[in-house]
């Protein structure tokens, strides 16, 4: 009788450990992290570009304020014609006038010096103490920005030159457009320091050499002006301050 062989053992089943699932989860998580990083980078770049654009707008507004202050000093309109108007425009109805003669400088500076901020209607005496008042919050160190950004102290764009700002719905410049309801920390301001110099310096040798190389200033009156312009951006925290010294030359007849 033939012997019967025992049945062959069944192959051992491999145990499933879920390795493929783990790999898929890892790749999904990496994809999510990559997408999150890309979105955050895009958002950061958008913020940087937006902040830079807002700064550039405020910078251009500050430049326009400097030009408006020059026109205020020269008593001119933007087209170069003589300024004419009423009230604040062309400083017709106010006492704070740009000095035109040497004898006008003393009374103006005396009146300004009596003010708490040493300024009135955009005209100031030479600033003493803390020079960067726009960063000053301590009144004991000099005027603060809150004191200087006031309708009785500073000047708005076009306030004394009649330059148009447009309307709220159609502003010529969205930063420089203002009215009586505009807050102090919006728009822009400028201040003009009246800096008299010694009358004897008119004919001083500003260029070294012989008398033929002398450079007369030809300024009437003997005043140099320092203009400070401050403009706020559309975003909170954007602020641009520009300064320039302006010495209008006496025109020859």
In a domain, 33, yes or no: no
Q: Judge contact between 41 and 48, C-beta under 8 A.
A: no
User: In this predicted model, what pLDDT tens digit does every residue of 20-30 receive, in sequence order?
Assistant: 777 788 888 88
**C-alpha pair distances (Å), 149 with each of 126, 145, 213:** 17, 6, 44
In a domain, 90, yes or no: yes
- Which span out of 74-88, 140-154, 216-230 was modeled with the highest average pLDDT? 140-154
Tell me the pLDDT of the chain averaged across its residues. Answer: 83
Give dist(CA 66, CA 58) in Å, integer: 13
Say whether pTM exceeds 0.85.
no
In which band, very low, low, confident or very high, does the pLDDT at 39 lie, cut at 50, 70 and 90? confident
In a domain, 228, yes or no: yes
In which band, very low, low, confident or very high, does the pLDDT at 40 lie, cut at 50, 70 and 90? confident
Cβ neighbours, 10 Å, residue 95: 10
Domain count, the chain: 1
In a domain, 13, yes or no: no
Structural domain of 233: 46-246
Averaged pLDDT, 116-141: 91
Determine the Cα angle at 33 with ends 30 and 38, to 5°: 125
């Amino acid at each position: 009788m033939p012997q019967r062989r025992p049945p062959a053992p069944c192959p051992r089943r491999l145990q499933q450990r879920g390795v493929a699932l783990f790999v898929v989860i890892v790749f999904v998580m990496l994809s999510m992290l990559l997408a999150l990083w890309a979105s955050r980078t895009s958002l950061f770049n958008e913020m940087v570009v937006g902040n830079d654009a807002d700064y550039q707008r405020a910078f251009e507004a500050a430049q326009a304020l400097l030009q408006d202050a020059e026109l205020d000093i020269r008593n001119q309109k933007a087209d170069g014609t003589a300024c004419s108007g009423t009230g604040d425009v062309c400083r017709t109805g106010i006492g704070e006038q740009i000095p035109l003669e040497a004898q006008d400088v003393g009374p103006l500076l005396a009146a300004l010096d009596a003010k708490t901020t040493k300024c009135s209607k955009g005209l100031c005496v030479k600033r003493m103490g803390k020079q960067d008042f726009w960063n000053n919050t301590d009144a004991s160190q000099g005027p603060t920005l809150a004191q200087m950004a006031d309708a009785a102290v500073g000047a708005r764009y076009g306030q004394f030159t009649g330059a148009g700002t447009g309307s709220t719905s159609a502003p010529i410049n969205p930063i420089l457009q203002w009215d009586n309801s505009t807050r102090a920390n919006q728009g822009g301001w400028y201040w003009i320091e009246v800096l008299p110099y010694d009358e004897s310096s008119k004919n001083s040798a500003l260029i070294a050499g012989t008398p033929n190389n002398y450079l007369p200033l030809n300024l009437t009156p003997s005043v140099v002006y320092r203009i400070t312009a401050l403009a706020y951006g559309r975003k909170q925290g954007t602020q641009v301050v520009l300064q320039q010294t302006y010495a209008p030359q006496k025109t020859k007849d």
